[in-house]
Structure 1
Amino acid sequence: MKIENPVALRFLLQDELYLLNTDKLLYTEDAIAPHIAEQPAASIIQVAPTVKEPEPVSIVPAPEVKTPPLTFNYLGKNLKNFVVLVNYPALEFIDDAHLTALTNIIKRKELAIDDLAIVNLAHHSTAKYDELLTFFKPTKLLILGKAALPQDIAPLVLNVPKPLGALTALQSFSFGEMMDSVDNKKAFWEQVKGF
């Protein structure tokens, strides 16, 4: 094909042409007009398309990030998969007077402290319900006070046992609320004795 004006190339070739920076000056309107005058009319301009080869892409696998296994600090040995959640920000586990009261209550159910796992959620505030289930595998979950509710647990009604999958959960008063109220102690015991 014979082309007299290189500007006409853009009308004939619909595809995009990529020029090197040094060649771009040759195809501007100002540079083309004097250039055309110098060449005879019978000349053919051929533009070879430049093909850029793709650069090789190296795929580097993302490094494996191993999260440390979740651990909880708890009192007892969890022999019966019975988890008791409490909230005592100033203590490691539970107040001594409250532990004595809890020990007396579980003795009536023929349980010992080693049968339980007493977890102070004040020191595990970011722990989610599923993480507790994975770690302890409880069949019974006793929650003492609103502050001891784990994140993402299904709504519970005070002193009403509720089955949650493979376990039964009971939310009751904290020992601080029970020590001063005979009614709260009675309501707690009525639910715990059958729990």
Structure 2
Amino acid sequence: MIAENALALSYILPADVYLLANERALVAELLPVETPEAAPVPEVKEPAVTYTEPAHEPIKQEVPVIPAINSPVAASATPSVTIPAISTPAPAAGWPYNYIGSYQKNFLILVNYPGTDIMDTAHLNALEKTIRLKGMSLDDAAIVNINQYPGHDIRAIGGHFKPQKLLFLGKAAVPGGFNPPPFNQLAKVGKSDALYTYSFNEMMGNKDLTKAFWEQMKML
């Protein structure tokens, strides 16, 4: 039997078919290649693992003890402090000038008020408030009314007080024979910081003059 299709031989001849060497290549191309099925992989089940967390003892935290803010302080821990009373000293024997203040910071203020020992009460109150605005008080200064001491020049007054700060309140407060520094400008007079400025008669009720005075006064 002659068959052109080598594949047909398997249907025509149920017995074993023997192919020639040149026919084997043709049959290999035409017949489907049977691939053996891979053997199934058995499923491996891992044993279940149960995790038990070990028991821990609770951590003890120490809480700091904060003392009460308002705890009373033992009486023995607080030293007793005695504050001496501050008063205006009386002029020493032979001291030629009367003044108000304790002069603790060598701040000399010269004024001129006829008919009174020192100065007008309203003006004195205004001056005291001005000094307090500088963080000072009358205990730091000495106020001298030069009207009570005619003929005393700046050398005599300065020689007695030796001021570190010097304030002339008005033209009439400048002692005779003295060439004052520039008006309302902080300047040096000898070793003193000096301010020659308006009197309280001029400044009372005048905001512009008061402001100009204070701008220089706060630097003195």
TM-score normalized with structure 1 length: 0.63
> Does the Cα contact within 8 Å between 2:111 and 2:145 map onto a contact in 1?
yes
Percent identity of the aligned residues? Answer: 43
Is 1:172 the counterpart of 2:171? The answer is no
Residue of structure 1 equivalent to 2:162: 137
* Larger Cα-atom Rg: 2
Q: How far did 1:146 drift?
A: 0.3
> How many residues matched?
128
Q: How far did 1:134 drift?
A: 1.1
Residue by residue, what CA displacement relative to the aligned partner does 1:33-90 show, whole Å, maximum 9, x if unpaired?
Answer: xxxxxxxxxxxxxxxxxxxxxxxxxxxxxxxxxxx95511111121111000001001
Query: Which runs of 4 or more aligned residues in structure 1 lie more than 4 Å from their structure 2 counterparts after TM superposition?
Result: none
Q: 1:75 aligns with which of 100, 111, 118?
A: 100
Is 1:111 the counterpart of 2:110? The answer is no
- Which consecutive unaligned segments of at least 5 residues does structure 1 have? 1-67
- Cα distance in 1 for residues equivalent to 2:177 and 2:186: 18
Q: How far did 1:154 drift?
A: 3.0
- Cα distance in 2 for residues equivalent to 1:148 and 1:193: 20
> CA 1:76–1:157 in structure 2 vs 1: closer, same or farther (change >3 Å)?
same
Is 1:190 the counterpart of 2:215? The answer is yes
Residue by residue, what CA displacement relative to the aligned partner does 1:95-151 show, whole Å, maximum 9, x if unpaired?
Answer: 111111111111111111111110001101211111111111101110000000012
> CA 1:115–1:193 in structure 2 vs 1: closer, same or farther (change >3 Å)?
same
- Cα distance in 2 for residues equivalent to 1:125 and 1:171: 19
Partner SS, residue 122 of structure 1: helix
Is 1:91 the counterpart of 2:138? The answer is no
Partner SS, residue 188 of structure 1: helix
Partner SS, residue 75 of structure 1: coil
TM-score normalized with structure 2 length: 0.56
- Cα distance in 2 for residues equivalent to 1:186 and 1:121: 26
- Cα distance in 2 for residues equivalent to 1:155 and 1:96: 26
Which structure's relative contact order is higher, taking Cα pairs within 8 Å and 6+ residues apart? 1
- Cα distance in 2 for residues equivalent to 1:155 and 1:193: 20
- Cα distance in 2 for residues equivalent to 1:193 and 1:152: 28
Is 1:150 the counterpart of 2:175? The answer is yes
Aligned residues: CA RMSD? 1.4
- Which consecutive unaligned segments of at least 5 residues does structure 2 have? 1-92
- Cα distance in 2 for residues equivalent to 1:189 and 1:123: 27
